[in-house]
Amino acid sequence: MADLSREELDGIYAFAVNLGKEAGRMLMDAAQLRFGDERPKEKEHVEKENAVDLVTQTDEDVEAFIKDQITKKYPLHKFIGEETYSKGASRDYLIGNEPTWCVDPLDGTVNYIHLFPMFCVSIGFIVNGKATIGVVYAPFLNQLFSACSGRGAWLNETQQLPLVRNPIPPMPAKAPAGCVFSCEWGKDRKDRPDSNLHRKVESFVNMAAEIGGRNGRGGMVHGMRCLGSATLDLAYTAMGSFDIWWEGGCWEWDVAAGIAILSEAGGLVTTANPPENEATAPVEEVKLGSRLYLAIRPAGPSPTETGREGQERTVREVWRRVRNLDYSRPGA
């Protein structure tokens, strides 16, 4: 398929934003069925069901809605959704050069089950392997993040990202000190020597500990945050709220929309796993299906370096403090 024209892409973007709003409202409507006590008869049956089953059903319903809308409007586009994919046998990376929608109907599922507001719908559109459009809507927070390559990244369609942009601040001179570091414990909790859990914890402690601690690896980050949503981690990195996000184990639908938004805002996304020669190896662009992600917020120049140089310096300072995580992927 030939490249999309500017006009086609803008049309797809407008469609995606509306789709995100509608899907987010579906999520919130289903959540609100569980609130309050005004309609005891109806609610009683809802609350007697297992909240997890209810959420699984919502997840499937919202994905079916999104897929149906996309298929009607763009029958030639490919569709990859979290629910559909997870039911299949293959764990291969399936995104090629053709225009592809990559969708998580509900990111932050645990949050949604517990009604913690950090959940969202995540709609990514990928062209030639590149995350080109991203729409993330967190309805409980009333926060809509959107971006299209060449059109800027936005909060609620009115505030351009990053929020502080006159000028965009440089990365802190002593990063990761001065940085907010976002990370996730995830679901992989095996207590074996050198398991991913222990590699993560060792990395977290290095980032947190005082300067001079941990045999020189102490990063003394300004704050450690865990939200339970990879998509929102990326969206808040695009906002400039988080300086660094480091994670392994999630999938392309968890990050496609967020990477589109962060990239358009001026952020950098590369691999979580430190390469050999971490101090000098090139900082390569992330592979969407790699399951290993390190994201740095948009950064402006300082008197001594460009924004990109500051971001790459921060990447290397993170790599110096984190362990390789053991996630892999056929085809990525």
Q: For residue 86, what are the CA distances in angstroms to 46, 89, 291?
A: 26, 8, 15
Instruction: Specify which residues 22 forms β-bridges with.
Output: none
- Is 186 exposed, middle or buried (CB count within 10 Å of its CB: 0-12, 13-18, 19+)? middle
Q: Given the rule CB under 8 A, which of 5-13, 57-65, 97-105, 217-225 is the region that contacts a copy of itself?
A: 217-225
214 binds a copy of itself (CB under 8 A): yes
Measured distance CA(313)–CA(205) in Å, rounded: 20
| For a copy of itself, the closer CB: 90 or 158 | 158
301 binds a copy of itself (CB under 8 A): no
306 binds a copy of itself (CB under 8 A): no
Q: Given the rule CB under 8 A, which of 71-79, 108-116, 129-137, 274-282 is the region that contacts a copy of itself?
A: 108-116
258 binds a copy of itself (CB under 8 A): no
| For a copy of itself, the closer CB: 65 or 116 | 116
* Cβ count near 141 (within 10 Å): 12
The residue within the footprint of a copy of itself, chosen from 82, 104, 107, 243 (CB under 8 A), is 243
The residue within the footprint of a copy of itself, chosen from 28, 64, 226, 332 (CB under 8 A), is 226
174 binds a copy of itself (CB under 8 A): no
> By three-state DSSP, how is residue 216 classified?
helix
The residue within the footprint of a copy of itself, chosen from 222, 308, 316, 320 (CB under 8 A), is 222
Is the distance from CB of 294 to CB of 246 less than 8 angstroms? yes
Measured distance CA(111)–CA(120) in Å, rounded: 10
Query: What is the smallest separation between the CB atom of 225 and a copy of itself, expressed in angstroms?
Result: 5
Rg (CA), the chain: 20
| Maximum C-alpha span of the chain | 66
220 binds a copy of itself (CB under 8 A): yes
Tokens of 169: 């601040």
Mark residues 37-66: x for contact with a copy of itself by CB under 8 A, - for none: x--x--xx--x---x---------------
Confirm whether residue 104 is marked as ligand binding.
Answer: yes
- Which residues, 6 or more positions from 113, have their beta carbon under 8 angstroms from its beta carbon? 51, 52, 55
224 binds a copy of itself (CB under 8 A): yes
Measured distance CA(296)–CA(292) in Å, rounded: 14
Strands, E assignment, 46-114: 78-81, 100-107
Residue positions in the annotated binding site for Mg(2+)? 82, 104, 106-107, 254
Footprint of a copy of itself (CB under 8 A): 34-37, 40, 43-44, 47, 51, 110-111, 113-117, 141-143, 159-160, 163-167, 169, 180, 184-185, 189-191, 197, 201, 204-205, 208-210, 212-214, 218, 220, 222-228, 236, 239-243
